[in-house]
Amino acid sequence: QKEVEQNSGPLSVPEGAIASLNCTYSDRGSQSFFWYRQYSGKSPELIMFIYSNGDKEDGRFTAQLNKASQYVSLLIRDSQPSDSATYLCAVNLIEGADGLTFGKGTHLIIQP
Amino acid sequence: NAGVTQTPKFQVLKTGQSMTLQCAQDMNHNSMYWYRQDPGMGLRLIYYSASEGTTDKGEVPNGYNVSRLNKREFSLRLESAAPSQTSVYFCASSDRAGRTNEKLFFGSGTQLSVL
């Protein structure tokens, strides 16, 4: 069964610290991996994508991919209260329908 | 820059009523999608259209129909609404370049309640 798994949280992190969000996926052939941020009552917003093993940095965000372990993570440095949201991991699974398969999301709370 | 526009934003239906959710994108994307989001279930794909003139089922298609009217517009129809279809519905489009690149851009969502 095609799956994308995330810890639902809530994950509570002090302001200024590093928030680490994790995701595992079941389809070893998956090629594309995405992180979306969703504020309460709003639509998902793409913040990072990664295709190759290793790290990809964009401002305070770093996406990490390990295809051998079927694991992708998102690090948020210098966490701000405005980073409080639900973070959705999404994977372009090779088998099945087009589109992305989403995890259920991790609720992140940044404590001032 | 509108991006992906969905209407209506809110809707309340009685069981058995029908309705159509409208979606339009102005980014010249080929692919369009309908997802539903339920508490504890995450986003689940209902139907998608990889290009104008084609539609395919996703993970949870039962009770829904879709129409890709043209490249810009992709509608979702509930023929006989059921309480199990109470959800938030998101339309999305993609500048898809093969299966390895499917960045999705979402509309603002439709909150649907079926009583």
pLDDT tens readout for residues A61-103? 999 999 999 999 999 999 999 999 999 999 987 766 678 899 9
Convert the pLDDT of each residue in B75-89 to its tens digit: 999 999 999 999 999
Query: Could you read off the pLDDT of A47-59 as tens digits, one per residue?
Result: 999 999 999 999 9
R_g (Cα) of chain A, nearest Å: 13
Compute CA distances B113 → B39, B44, B82, whole Å.
14, 17, 9
User: Using a CB-CB distance cutoff of 8 angstroms, which residues of chain A are in contact with residue B90?
Assistant: 43-44
Q: Is pLDDT of A35 > 80?
A: yes
Smallest CA–CA distance, residue A112 to chain B, in Å, is 27
What's the Cα-to-Cα distance from A89 to each of A48, A112, B57, B112, rounded to whole Å? 10, 25, 22, 25
Given a cut of 90, whether residue A107 has pLDDT beyond it is yes
Using alpha carbons only, what angle is made at residue B70 by residues B66 and B71, rounded to the nearest 5 degrees?
105
CB contact under 8 A, A92 and B90: no
Size of chain A, expressed as the number of residues it contains: 112
Residues in chain B with CB shorter than 8 Å from the CB of A56 are none
Residue of B nearest to A93 (CA): B99
DSSP state of B73: B
Q: What is the DSSP letter of A103?
A: P
pLDDT of res. B2:
79
Distance CA A2, CA A27 (A): 6
Q: Which residue from B41, B103, B108 is facing A43, i.e. has the nearest CB?
A: B108
User: Across the interface, do B33 and A102 touch by the CB < 8 Å criterion?
Assistant: no
Q: Each residue of B43-74: pLDDT tens digit? A: 999 999 988 889 999 999 999 999 998 999 99
Q: Cis omega before residue A10 (within 30°)?
A: yes
